Structure 1
Amino acid sequence: MSERLRNKTALVTGSTSNIGQAIAEAFAAEGAHVVVSGRNQARGAQVVEGIRASGGRADFLAADLDGSPERSRDLAERARQALGGRIDILVNNAGIYPAPATTETDEKTFDQVYGVNVKAPFFLTAAVAPAMAESGGGAIINLGSWIARLAVPLGALYSSTKGAMETLTRAWAAEFGPQGVRVNAVSPGVVLPATPEGGEPHPGEVMMAGTPAGEVGTPDAIAHAVVWLASDEAAFVHGTVVDVDGGRTGVAVIRTQTATVSSGR
């Protein structure tokens, strides 16, 4: 690796598995000191152990970000202490995905999903961004989703939270950008930890039919984009949502049969 994040510190929420884990591992490989956070202590310890075994720096902080300002502020303070007094990079990745139909969504589920997916990163950003500015700047990367713009059945609740995060990305870029804090987002497509072998195709694979990629993505693909946004290479990038979705939201590949036509016929 090129150590694009050498001497940087980073907090990645929801980083005990899947995309968050890949981001934490990629940050550490690029030289950052990373706080891995999440609800599962055992999985968090495994992620940290793997990073350290590869020569990286990481610590785990247990956190159940339910949307309360107190829990977001508590994580921000504990992360600052673990990282030597400052947070240079914040990745708002933690999220949950219940997918009931609109007519079957009760208020408790609605409030829980918005609490984790929107309120928690809102108050965490509020706790982190001012200190970033005081320290000379930083980078915040939010995780959106392709279904915020390309609707799917049973996606109303979750996709609306991701639409909110993409809107907050632009609003925060306007609010904090002049203070030296860049805010951007990555919008993943269909991502699976590993491509299933044999048997029926995973529903995610079906969703990627008709795209340029033609297949699902991996957590590493998302992590690469997040690393770039966190690095100085993206110093002129503000308020942008980077689609890392295999072309799902922007391109339709129409397959046609080529007919051989002889002149005169």
Structure 2
Amino acid sequence: MSKLTNQTALITGATKGMGLAIAKKLAQLGCNLLLAARNSDALKALKVNLEKSTPNINVQYFVCDFSDRTQLDGLTQWVDQIAPHLDILINNVGIFHAVSILDESDEDFDLQMSINYYTPHLLSRSVARNMRRNSKGHIFNISSIASREPVSSAGTYTVTKYAVMGLTHVLRDELRPYGVKVTEIIPGSTLTSSWEGTAIPADQFVLPEDIAAAIATCLTMSEGANVDEIVIKPRYGNI
């Protein structure tokens, strides 16, 4: 029996890229899933496919535009109601805009702050309160190598990822006395929809499945081990 059997994980941005790879990996390990993304049809299809390939798990989903605070509040309330003993939170959803701070619009700024920072902050706050009470749980924040190596051509994106790094450190310190683990996953150039249409060979990238494998490894370690952070870069360097 897998260590994750009968555990439940919430994954944001679950229908594409890293989120999709993580959902498939955790399903294989016997984890029940709560999936959140914007596209209702994609969520429904993913639920059907996962429950067909791994019939021993339960999959539920919530349609959410993470740039809409009302919808995000609805997601946190839904999770609190149906999964007060949530075991795993994976803050994966994110958006990348290649625009400098000086040239960005207010809309660029607001959208990136809402999705890349407010979402993991508010979800973590809500879920962590229950994890603290339950004295168990594991939060994963997927940030970016931009949180260590600033990208001025993607200014606010970089700032949000630095904020996610800070959030991770604070959460880890707050939750450590209660036995709750917090891990930051820090990918370099990863072959997701952001690179759609590229002629660069796949072996120049980190693959979404690599991120999923890293999370699975963290989740299957001993109870006494916490991986603070994992940096995963392409072997030939970032693109």
Shorter-chain TM range is 0.7 to 0.9
Corresponding residue for 2:90?
Answer: 91
- Superposed displacement of residue 112, structure 1: 1.5
- Greater relative contact order (CA < 8 Å, ≥ 6 in sequence): 2
Corresponding residue for 2:74?
Answer: 74
- Superposed displacement of residue 77, structure 1: 2.7
Consecutive unaligned residues of structure 1, counting only runs of 5 or more, are 209-213, 252-265
Distance across 2 between alignment mates of 1:230 and 1:184: 10
Of Structure 1 and Structure 2, the greater helix share is in 2
Q: 1:156 to 1:189 in 2, by over 3 A?
A: same
After superposition, give the CA deviation of every residue in 1:191-241 in whole Å (9 maximum; x if it has no partner). Answer: 1159x9xx9733xx5xx9xxxxx6212111000111222334374215x22
Distance across 2 between alignment mates of 1:192 and 1:112: 22
Corresponding residue for 2:64?
Answer: 63
Supply the RMSD in Å over aligned alpha carbons.
2.5
- State the identity %: 26
Q: Which moved more, 1:161-170 or 1:226-235?
A: 226-235
Question: Contact 1:13–1:91 at 8 Å: present in 2 too?
Answer: yes
Distance across 1 between alignment mates of 2:224 and 2:94: 27
Corresponding residue for 2:129?
Answer: 130
Consecutive unaligned residues of structure 2, counting only runs of 5 or more, are none
Matches within 5 A, 1:113-262: 113-193=112-192, 201-202=199-200, 215-233=204-222, 235-237=224-226, 240-247=228-235
Question: Contact 1:61–1:79 at 8 Å: present in 2 too?
Answer: no
| Structure with bigger gyration radius | 1
After superposition, give the CA deviation of every residue in 1:117-151 in whole Å (9 maximum; x if it has no partner). Answer: 11111111111101112123100000011122223
Question: Contact 2:204–2:235 at 8 Å: present in 1 too?
Answer: no
Distance across 2 between alignment mates of 1:71 and 1:42: 17
TM value normalised by structure 1 = 0.79
Q: 1:246 to 1:131 in 2, by over 3 A?
A: same
For 1:140, what is the secondary structure of its paired residue?
strand
Corresponding residue for 1:257?
Answer: none
Q: 1:164 to 1:248 in 2, by over 3 A?
A: farther
Corresponding residue for 2:20?
Answer: 21
- 2:118 partner letter: K
- 2:208 partner letter: P
For 2:102, what is the secondary structure of its paired residue?
helix
Distance across 1 between alignment mates of 2:215 and 2:7: 14
Distance across 1 between alignment mates of 2:88 and 2:160: 22
TM value normalised by structure 2 = 0.87
- Superposed displacement of residue 80, structure 1: 4.1
Distance across 1 between alignment mates of 2:115 and 2:224: 29
Distance across 1 between alignment mates of 2:207 and 2:109: 29
